[in-house]
Chains A and B, each alone.
Chain A
């Protein structure tokens, strides 16, 4: 699995869409064949994956809302999604 480096600028893969599931009151990532259910933190991370922010900037942007953001966990989370083709990593 490829984990994103601090300088990489992740963005959602073009065939995915972040959405809110009203019926179940949960955040989800929609893809052609699957629905990935997200917790609030996961949704916040993906909401920041705009291809502009670097990983370090994403972690920094999360900090006001969360007492502590483990950068390693964010990196791991994005690495999993990147391996599954849900997130693109572009070094910038």
Chain B
């Protein structure tokens, strides 16, 4: 059995932002009973024992957890590589210095665009200036800085200016990742999916920037899978390299697997090693035995693992079908139709605007960690 390398810790789904492409669950009310500090520390101990080397601290907004420094310190003491994935709202100088001292290895800050008006509109709250301030703070503390930008129809044409901003901020890396259509993003797909012409322009810009910035800034560009010939090898295979622990302690093979109807597995009820090795949710799509045709006899079955189970479920209602992104999938028309609709030249000046986007709501009420058990 493979052991996991990476743990994505979704510490809370509370978030000051309301991005319409958020991959958090549509029903956020089920996650208010968050793991305590001590429970997270136990999760990290067990994860490290299991072979996890990288810890991605995410959410929601992980800075909303007041115990983030404690959790980070614990992870660092275990030798884990710690990576904070944040909107940067709440990353004050004091908090940043605390995290630096706790051993946080790397910070990834999301920005929504290259300028305040659009960035704040997408984020649903005034945040752009605070993000820039935080990014400069990260560099001042001599931390490596990665900027994360989720690309979609409304900002992909600004990719050159986004790259200029990253350069000006001294980012070491930038991840330009097209929206993946889960959760709120799927609900908003018609307003988010870019057209083919937009993608072609973006690729030209990225190629030129890579040459220009070679050795100074690493550019990671993730294509939208709707435009790929082959589906993405989601998580490098189900239950193969990564696991996700969500705020209430449920463990998933990937952060969107809550959408697939499978039995729950929680760190509150089982050791992490059992969940990884034996739980029904991790066994469900491990390996190739579950595959239908055309995957079962496909040469690429060990390369893309049939694509994404969550996408198959969301688009076809059956998680065990071939990812409809694959051109060999009998359901490929579901994706092809969305691509055609996004790429048809729209009449009039409204090109790019698309339908109104539904913002991801704030979870209500603001979840609080349970009190520490007395022992």
Which A residues are closer than 8 A to B by beta carbons? Answer: 13-15, 17, 19, 21-24, 28, 30-33, 35, 85
Given contacts A15-B144, A35-B5, contact A21 B108 (CB under 8 A): no
Q: Told that A22-B79, A32-B173, A35-B54 touch, could you supply 13 new A-B pairs with CB distance under 8 A?
A: A14-B144, A14-B172, A19-B79, A21-B51, A21-B53, A23-B48, A23-B51, A30-B54, A31-B81, A32-B144, A35-B5, A35-B53, A85-B173
Q: Is the CB of B81 within 8 A of A30?
A: yes
Q: Is the CB of B3 within 8 A of A17?
A: no
Bound form: Cα–Cα A21–B6 in Å: 13
Bound form: Cα–Cα A30–B144 in Å: 13
List, in ascending order, chain A residues with CB within 8 A of B54's CB.
30, 35
Tell me whether B225 is interfacial, beta carbon within 8 Å.
no
Q: Is the CB of B105 within 8 A of A28?
A: no
List, in ascending order, chain A residues with CB within 8 A of B79's CB.
19, 22
- B108 CB contact (under 8 Å) in A28, A32, A85: A32
Main secondary structure of the interface of B (DSSP, over half): mixed
Given contacts A32-B106, A32-B146, A85-B218, contact A15 B173 (CB under 8 A): yes
Bound form: Cα–Cα A82–B105 in Å: 20
Query: A92: shortest Cβ distance to chain B, in Å?
Result: 16
List, in ascending order, chain B residues with CB within 8 A of A31's CB.
81
Query: B1: shortest Cβ distance to chain A, in Å?
Result: 12
Total A-B Cβ pairs within 8 A: 47
Query: A10: shortest Cβ distance to chain B, in Å?
Result: 13
- A19 CB contact (under 8 Å) in B81, B172, B173: B81
Q: Is the CB of B172 within 8 A of A15?
A: yes
Bound form: Cα–Cα A26–B121 in Å: 47
- B51 CB contact (under 8 Å) in A13, A14, A24, A33: A24
Q: Of A15, A17, A19, A85, which is in contact with the most chain B CB atoms at under 10 Å from its CB?
A: A15
Main secondary structure of the interface of A (DSSP, over half): loop
Q: Is the CB of A23 within 8 A of B144?
A: no
Bound form: Cα–Cα A27–B108 in Å: 25
List, in ascending order, chain B residues with CB within 8 A of A13's CB.
144, 172
B264-285 interface bits toward A, Cβ cutoff 8 Å, 1 = contact, 0 = none: 0000000000000000000000
Bound form: Cα–Cα A35–B242 in Å: 12
Q: Of A13, A17, A24, A33, which is in contact with the most chain B CB atoms at under 10 Å from its CB?
A: A33
Q: Is the CB of B105 within 8 A of A17?
A: yes
List, in ascending order, chain B residues with CB within 8 A of A17's CB.
81, 105
Given contacts A14-B172, A32-B146, contact A19 B106 (CB under 8 A): no
Query: A78: shortest Cβ distance to chain B, in Å?
Result: 14
B125-145 interface bits toward A, Cβ cutoff 8 Å, 1 = contact, 0 = none: 000000000000000001010
Q: Is the CB of A32 within 8 A of B5?
A: no
List, in ascending order, chain A residues with CB within 8 A of B116's CB.
none
Bound form: Cα–Cα A23–B48 in Å: 8
List, in ascending order, chain A residues with CB within 8 A of B327's CB.
none
List, in ascending order, chain A residues with CB within 8 A of B49's CB.
23
List, in ascending order, chain A residues with CB within 8 A of B220's CB.
33
Given contacts A14-B172, A30-B54, contact A24 B83 (CB under 8 A): no
**CB interface residues, B 180-239, toward A, < 8 Å:** 218, 220
B92-115 interface bits toward A, Cβ cutoff 8 Å, 1 = contact, 0 = none: 000000000000011010000000
Provide a sorted-by-A list of 21 A–B residue pairs whose CB atoms are within 8 angstroms.
Answer: A13-B144, A13-B172, A14-B144, A14-B172, A15-B106, A15-B144, A15-B146, A15-B172, A19-B81, A21-B51, A24-B51, A30-B53, A30-B105, A32-B81, A32-B105, A32-B108, A32-B173, A33-B220, A35-B5, A35-B53, A85-B173
The residue of chain B having its C-beta at the shortest distance from the C-beta of A88 within the complex is B215
List, in ascending order, chain A residues with CB within 8 A of B108's CB.
32
Given contacts A15-B173, A19-B81, contact A28 B53 (CB under 8 A): yes
